[in-house]
Amino acid sequence: MKVTPEHNERIAKMKFRSVYPHYITKIKKRQNHRRTTSSNNLAHGF
């Protein structure tokens, strides 16, 4: 994606409350992925 001054301005004007739910979802997905990866690594060790 090409970053333009208009894009940067639009992002800067976003309200935190509109972004926060998406941020939390992203963090939860990342944590779940890490747990799965750790579980898989432990299973391969046995």
Report the C-alpha gap between 36 and 7 in whole angstroms: 35
Locus of tokens 């739910």 = 21
5-43: b (≥16 Cβ within 10 Å) or e: eeeeeeeeeeeeeeeeeeeeeeeeeeeeeeeeeeeeeee
pLDDT of residue 25: 93
pLDDT of residue 14: 86
Per-residue pLDDT of 1-46, as tens digits, reads: 788 999 999 888 988 888 899 889 999 998 887 776 665 565 555 5
pLDDT of residue 9: 93
Maximal C-alpha separation, the chain: 53
pLDDT of residue 42: 56
